[in-house]
Amino acid sequence: MLKLFGKFKSALQTDGYECYELLDAKKGIMLLGCWAYARRHFWELQGNDESRAEYALKQIQLLYDVERQNR
């Protein structure tokens, strides 16, 4: 997989799939996560810690609102 990225140097947004973690060691590549992926985990945690999960979901919603306003 590293050959595929050759001389690529930049930020790379992924969906959190494990295979991309090996790119974290490649100099010049910065891995970025996806809010939708992170949001899904907080959504699933609502049953374990509802107040903190809901707080996180509201904060992510605020980020989505900013993105919508800036389009």
Q: How confident is the model at residue 9 (pLDDT cuts 50, 70, 90)?
A: very high
3 or 69: which leads in pLDDT: 69
The string of DSSP letters for 2-64 reads HHHHTT--EEEE----GGGGGGGGSTTEEEE--HHHHHHHHHHGGGTSHHHHHHHHHHHHHHH
pLDDT average, residue stretch 20-40: 86
Q: How confident is the model at residue 14 (pLDDT cuts 50, 70, 90)?
A: confident
pLDDT average, residue stretch 48-55: 94
